[in-house]
Structure 1
């Protein structure tokens, strides 16, 4: 038994390590790689793993951990804000998708009850697949990402009562058993749901406080696993979704001070088990049906993807979502989902559907899941670019004909602070920024900012560069910064230039261009934080400030010495090592600093 378990583990790891990187390198994403790896080791190909159903059931734990992490990110206050999207948009999308697919199934010859079950089952989407795709592209917090999550959450909630109702839809089941089994199941489910919320609210935080007090990472991680698996098991025993239980537990801990520790401990388990789930989906797909009835399988898959994408797009437009986000949602939610496997299997057990039809539908769901990463990649590099290109290129703003004292090129975080100070002093200034979106945002707050490229001579003249006294180069991009500096030095030599340097290399470039007034953007904040950290170690404030005051001129001298060997990497490294040794010697020679450092307990150092 142990040997079989280790062998299966080795097979899964080898398949993932060999196949998934290939798909990532081809730009197809991890999800499709895991699905392909599952097909290769599954019964339809090499048949390296025998009990695929057991693997699929175990891999559902990956979804449990995923929903727990999602719950951790959702504070109850945020859920209240999302209620319209979850229940309004979610119910609309489920209704339209279910109606569309149910009518298609009824038109193909299924009885009304069976067609309704098939329509609802196929209308559900894959929560882990969609969230993984959004996470890979860092789009979870976009408008379409939030709407997609709201729809997926409502679908998971809606699947629970449908799963309970399916046995009642079987022939003569309701007449034989009456409503009592259904009512009993509902009461048990409601009781478990309320018990988890109430118990979790009063027990979870003390439990984690106890675990954290042990100062044992293993105990804390074990507590996390206990909570996740315990909540999931409670919902499963009550006839509800394991994922729902984990999600509720995550939401209850979202406001906890232990949230970040919990998320860090759960992340390795979530990633591994999600990969196992996608591989299990690939294993359970009966690929042999493609050879037996290729037109039926491909036609069913294509019809499912097209109908779902269209239904989701219609629901999005009815809800008031724009075309761009509607198409994003249509592509993302065009596949079937893992809950479809559960509902269709339950329908087969209740004799609502033939097992052969269920196998065909499960294959179509699996293939639709495999198409989503491909379609999403094509969409990102195709339709999205078309939408972007349709936006007319904005012309540069016409600048007023006045004479500002200062021109600021770039109005991000750095430039805005300077602008606020100048505004308070009532010193006139003009701002040029190349980011049109940034200009619109800053204007809404009452700032006078103009859209334009500060490296263009005509715009600089329009901004009053021939009459201004100072130009501040506050852009963050070193290349753009150097272009502006080069133009200004040639065309407006009277202007005093003050520049923001992104790093030491950028500072060296500016210095080589003859700029003497340079501020490295991270240096002041870093030194201030270093001073505060020294105070936290017990060094008096004046001594901590003296340490920083000693460091600053030394660092400036080191910067000048490194400028002398600019472009020679070997000498640059040598200069850096020499500067570090000089700083140590400088601190050791300073009695005030050396004495205060020695007073710090050794365990703190």
Structure 2
């Protein structure tokens, strides 16, 4: 008995030790944590050191890491946000899966396999690894970005696709008549389970957590959080849906709960540990014997399928109006197989659709595609960085007290006014044509470079500068530049161009002294012109414009305190209430001004 316990403890220590050694090493090399976990899994698995034999048992437990991860993602995605993404999920997602499935089926069929075998093999590869892509998006802080949201949408659709694909397997089976479920059962059971999860999320979970909160027992709340995650996952799996989808739906339904942050904090330690264990288990499942005996087939399979998937994903992204950079980034991150392939291939083997040899080879292809994906992403990043800035940043040989970032239509006017007033500026812009034109034609010294790179700002003298003017129209880069400037020179004064209301709120959070909304002044001037055309006296027009300008600036400061980047603007009730209050106050105050003006003019006329 003691020996058995010791053996189990050795396995636990091996898992932890492999992660502790491999992950920091691979992150230091710039290869990411996922590849570190996969390589560590190969090293300690049955085809490495042989510390584990039953990798499927480890994989089943480790899949809970993916489940909890999807629950956390759901907590951060409000129902309104999910509804906003519906076209991405069912439009882009369906198009990407359909195009890739057709192309990869054709590729495998061309290799000499029957069409049924090819269809199942392609379907497994098309279902991209949710765990790998989500981890990569999280590490790169892309989950809330436009391209990150597109990838999340496609992943959600792929998670939904496991249901019809598993239902398709018996129809492809030689014993089709014996194994196929009635259609009502195949469709009705998943829908019933989904309805049960939604009902519980809407009507039962919040009262449950309120009740448990009264007892002030933190461990009970943690147990309840895990109960919700695993219970919803189990219910979905019972209905034939994916466990991850069940946890995601539960997370979305709890995303507006007052317990959201506590739930996230409770499950976070389990998420990280189990997700790492999942990647270790995937690495263990790589059968090196199969790879060695069929190395040419496996290697060719990885290269051809990854390339075909890459081309399909890139083409769909461009077709749906993504930029070249976004499409390339998405293709690099999503051109790999996923964990659902193991489930799909297992069912196909049981039904006699594919044989065990094809299953072993495709499983090896899937695992290797997951292992090589970080390298593909690194290559895409390197390519994009080279394309984005083919020439190196200019050496800045003169430093002035004022630094101006951006010489577009906005920045040009700022420069003209300051130069006319006698101030000298250090000017930086990323547009080669503009930089060349101003420097060589108009004799306005302008330096080429990306000011969001800290080394360029240091070369420009940001540590000693008195004033930084950020006149670019990229909100994210603007915030990066301001954040670095503040960190290295806390006393620097900053004037920043705001792209829109949301960007304005975030600039207030950064403590920017002067925020200039790029269309605000011109819009107020246009409003004043409209009032004059409507017959309002010019003096009153100027007073109305000045009053509105003052009220709006003050209101923006109050609203900025209530802004939360994690909550879509039209679902942030506190912010909505404040904006409505400001609108009423602006109307009443302007009407009062107009009323006073009319009374004063009437009194002057009477006298």
- Aligned partner of 1:281 in structure 2 is 282
Structure 1: 5+ residue stretches without partners: 395-406, 417-427, 439-450, 461-474, 487-499, 511-520, 526-605
Partners of 2:361 and 2:179 in 1: CA distance: 31
Is the 1:410–1:431 contact (alpha carbons within 8 Å) kept by the matching residues of 2? Answer: no
SS for the counterpart of 1:480 is coil
- State the Cα distance separating 1:46 from its structure 2 match: 0.9
- Counting only pairs closer than 5 Å after superposition, residues 199-238 of structure 1 correspond to structure 2 as 199-238=200-239
Is the 2:66–2:275 contact (alpha carbons within 8 Å) kept by the matching residues of 1? Answer: yes
TM-score (norm 2): 0.67
Partners of 2:187 and 2:362 in 1: CA distance: 29
Deviations 1:333-378 (A, max 9, x none): 1111000111011101110000011000000000000110111112
- Aligned partner of 2:479 in structure 1 is none
Partners of 1:263 and 1:124 in 2: CA distance: 27
- Counting only pairs closer than 5 Å after superposition, residues 320-339 of structure 1 correspond to structure 2 as 320-339=321-340
- Aligned partner of 2:108 in structure 1 is 105
- Aligned partner of 1:251 in structure 2 is 252
Partners of 1:236 and 1:2 in 2: CA distance: 32
Distance change >3 Å, CA 219–CA 208, structure 1 → 2: same
1:317 aligns with 2:318: yes
Partners of 1:476 and 1:207 in 2: CA distance: 53
- State the structure with more CA Rg: 1
- Aligned partner of 2:264 in structure 1 is 263
- Counting only pairs closer than 5 Å after superposition, residues 35-50 of structure 1 correspond to structure 2 as 35-50=38-53
- Aligned partner of 1:197 in structure 2 is 198
Aligned mate of 1:79, from 78, 82, 88 = 82
Distance change >3 Å, CA 202–CA 172, structure 1 → 2: same
Deviations 1:105-129 (A, max 9, x none): 2222222222222221111111110
1:299 aligns with 2:300: yes
- State the Cα distance separating 1:207 from its structure 2 match: 1.2
- Aligned partner of 2:27 in structure 1 is 24
Is the 2:317–2:327 contact (alpha carbons within 8 Å) kept by the matching residues of 1? Answer: yes
- Aligned partner of 1:171 in structure 2 is 174
Partners of 2:385 and 2:309 in 1: CA distance: 23
Is the 2:41–2:281 contact (alpha carbons within 8 Å) kept by the matching residues of 1? Answer: yes
- Aligned partner of 2:475 in structure 1 is none
Is the 1:478–1:501 contact (alpha carbons within 8 Å) kept by the matching residues of 2? Answer: no
Distance change >3 Å, CA 434–CA 109, structure 1 → 2: same
Partners of 1:504 and 1:179 in 2: CA distance: 63
Distance change >3 Å, CA 338–CA 522, structure 1 → 2: closer
Is the 1:434–1:452 contact (alpha carbons within 8 Å) kept by the matching residues of 2? Answer: no
Partners of 1:82 and 1:504 in 2: CA distance: 36
- Aligned partner of 1:119 in structure 2 is 122
Aligned mate of 1:149, from 137, 147, 152 = 152
Deviations 1:521-543 (A, max 9, x none): 99998xxxxxxxxxxxxxxxxxx
Is the 2:464–2:489 contact (alpha carbons within 8 Å) kept by the matching residues of 1? Answer: no
* Runs of 4 or more consecutive aligned structure 1 residues displaced over 6 Å after TM superposition: 391-394, 428-433, 457-460, 475-479, 500-505, 507-510, 521-525
Aligned mate of 1:12, from 15, 21, 30 = 15
- Aligned partner of 1:420 in structure 2 is none
SS for the counterpart of 1:50 is coil
Is the 1:87–1:154 contact (alpha carbons within 8 Å) kept by the matching residues of 2? Answer: yes
- How many residues align structurally? 449
Partners of 1:387 and 1:46 in 2: CA distance: 43
- State the Cα distance separating 1:435 from its structure 2 match: 6.5
- Aligned partner of 1:60 in structure 2 is 63
- Aligned partner of 1:385 in structure 2 is 385
Partners of 1:203 and 1:26 in 2: CA distance: 47
Partners of 1:458 and 1:111 in 2: CA distance: 68
- State the Cα distance separating 1:10 from its structure 2 match: 1.1
Is the 1:409–1:431 contact (alpha carbons within 8 Å) kept by the matching residues of 2? Answer: no
Is the 2:170–2:179 contact (alpha carbons within 8 Å) kept by the matching residues of 1? Answer: no
- Counting only pairs closer than 5 Å after superposition, residues 409-448 of structure 1 correspond to structure 2 as none
Partners of 1:36 and 1:501 in 2: CA distance: 36
Is the 2:309–2:335 contact (alpha carbons within 8 Å) kept by the matching residues of 1? Answer: yes
Deviations 1:465-515 (A, max 9, x none): xxxxxxxxxx997973455459xxxxxxxxxxxxx99789957999xxxxx
Partners of 1:361 and 1:483 in 2: CA distance: 59
Partners of 1:508 and 1:76 in 2: CA distance: 42
